[in-house]
Amino acid sequence: MFYPHEITLPKKVIVGLELLEKVGLYIKAIDAMISKAIIVSGASETAAYAKLVSDALQQCHIETWTVPISSSTMSEVEKTINIAKDVAANVIIGVGGGKAIDVAKYSSYMLSKPFISVPTSPSHDGIASPFASIKDVGKVTSVKASTPILIIADVAVMARAPRRNIVSGCGDLLGKFSAVLDWKLAHKLRGEYYGDYAASLSLLSAQHIVKYSSMFKTKQIPTGAVRILVEALISSGIAMAIANSTRPASGSEHLIAHAIDLVAGYPALHGEEVGIGAIIALYLHGKNWRKIKGVLGEMGAPTKITQINVSKEQMVKALTIAHSIRPERYTILGEKGFSEEAAERLIEVLELA
């Protein structure tokens, strides 16, 4: 059976060094009519990068308004939308990590304006995906957002991100192994659409991290390793755009991560939680969870719940509710989930406590 879906891809992706000073030129090459831009950035660390982008835009005769945000919430989205309407902006640019990118892409989607992604931290694959994590829209999972028309990834900038953020991006990508397995399972048992190309692209992103994992062991992760990670994160985002779904990149491991956030109040970085979730999900699928746990450990990523500030009691609770986070999305967690006793045994078997 043919399952139609819409595919919207970026017009251009630029990965390299010293790119922020050229952002205006890249934007004009995409659309010479762009004249007013909203720049969404973090309120502290990324403010300097947002200033560089603003200066580059103004040199190309693009007026700019910078909107500093502190969280990925609807109040920040509404603030961005109101300013964009007031100044008649014709493009929304996200400069920063997850929060700024998510607020920018969702604001863009609500306004039906183009979105441009200028990531400064390689902590997750949202830099290229058409989905955003907005914390107070009634769900903890991702919502539909704009696909970026342009992605400008300055590897030198992203290599200066905290080591923890870089390793978090690796954890997010390793979760693709279980996400694709869950997608295949839903296709087999529920007849859900499954796109082999999108799945293969997502898996390639995860395989790249395993292949080059030794490059991420050093205290100061080299720029070459960060480039590999950034390109893999972008590929994962594009896999979601091809599938028009988060399925290639988000399965039971993400449900576990979302459940942890619900129970423990966002105790760690998203990719750190996903890495823990991937260990559990791969075990349930009967796959080589020990290898992934080993890769995470060698890179310095959390492999125990204490490392993500989660108690055993909280983890048990998270595992018992994870299946209910997205009841419409079938995964290896099934429809009934775990009992408390089964969750405790799982934590013990995988030595997560």
135 and 248 share a domain? no
Return the residue matching tokens 């290639």: 248
Give pLDDT, residue 116. 98
How is residue 19 written in tokens?
Answer: 């790119």
Last residue of a domain, one of 134, 159, 184: 159
Instruction: Give me Rg for the CA atoms of the chain.
Output: 20
Distance CA 322, CA 177 (A): 18
**End-of-domain residue from the set 114, 136, 159:** 159
Are the C-beta atoms of residues 93 and 111 closer than 8 Å to each other?
A: no
d(CA 39, CA 54): 8
Alpha-carbon gap, residue 146 to 117, rounded angstroms: 10
Q: Which two tokens stand for residue 125?
A: 């694959």
Q: What is the pLDDT of residue 139?
A: 63
> Which domain CATH number covers 140?
3.40.50.1970
Total domains in the chain come to 2
Take residue 313 and report the two structure tokens written for it.
């009691």
Q: Are residues 255 and 153 in the same domain?
A: no
Scanning the chain, the segments in alpha helix (DSSP H) are: 23-30, 47-59, 74-87, 98-111, 155-159, 163-174, 176-190, 196-211, 223-243, 252-264, 270-284, 289-299, 312-321, 340-349
4 falls within a domain: no
Dihedral sign (CA 24, 25, 30, 31): positive
Q: What is the rounded CA–CA span in Å between residue 282 and residue 327?
A: 20
The token pair that represents 329 in the structure block: 């999305």
Q: Are residues 206 and 140 both part of a single domain?
A: no
Among residues 114, 112, 92, the alpha carbon closest in space to that of 103 is found at 92
Helix (H) or strand (E) run with residue 253 in it: helix 252-264
Residues 58 and 153 in one domain: yes
Does 239 share its domain with 279? yes
On whether residue 272 sits in a domain, the answer given is yes
Q: What is the pLDDT of residue 22?
A: 96
Residues 197 and 256 in one domain: yes
State whether 218 and 331 are in the same domain. yes
Residues 103 and 238 reside in one and the same domain: no
Domain check: are 276 and 318 in the same one? Answer: yes
Q: In the sheet where 91-96 sits, what is the strand order?
A: 12-16, 150-154, 115-119, 91-96, 36-42, 63-69
Expressed as residue numbers, the domain containing 146 is 12-159
As given in the structure block, the two tokens for residue 137 are 């829209």
Q: What is the DSSP-derived secondary structure letter of residue 35?
A: -
Judgement on whether residues 19 and 138 belong to the same structural domain of the protein = yes
pLDDT by residue for the chain (353 residues), tens digit each? 565 678 999 999 999 999 999 999 999 999 999 999 999 998 777 999 999 999 999 999 999 999 999 999 999 999 999 999 999 999 999 999 889 999 999 999 999 999 999 999 999 899 999 999 998 766 667 899 999 999 999 999 999 999 999 999 999 999 999 999 999 999 999 999 999 999 999 999 999 999 999 999 999 999 999 999 999 999 999 999 999 999 999 999 999 999 999 999 999 999 999 999 999 999 999 999 999 999 999 999 999 999 999 999 999 999 999 999 999 999 999 999 999 999 999 999 999 99
Instruction: Give CA separation, 60 vs 24, 35, 194, in Å.
Output: 6, 9, 43
Asked if 42 and 108 sit in the same domain, the reply is yes
Q: Which residue has the tokens 């931290």?
A: 121
Task: Indicate which CATH number applies to the domain containing 319.
Answer: 1.20.1090.10
Choose one of 125, 159, 193: the last residue of a domain.
159
Measured at the alpha carbon of residue 65, what is the angle toward residues 154 and 92, in degrees to the nearest 5? 60
- pLDDT attached to residue 44: 78
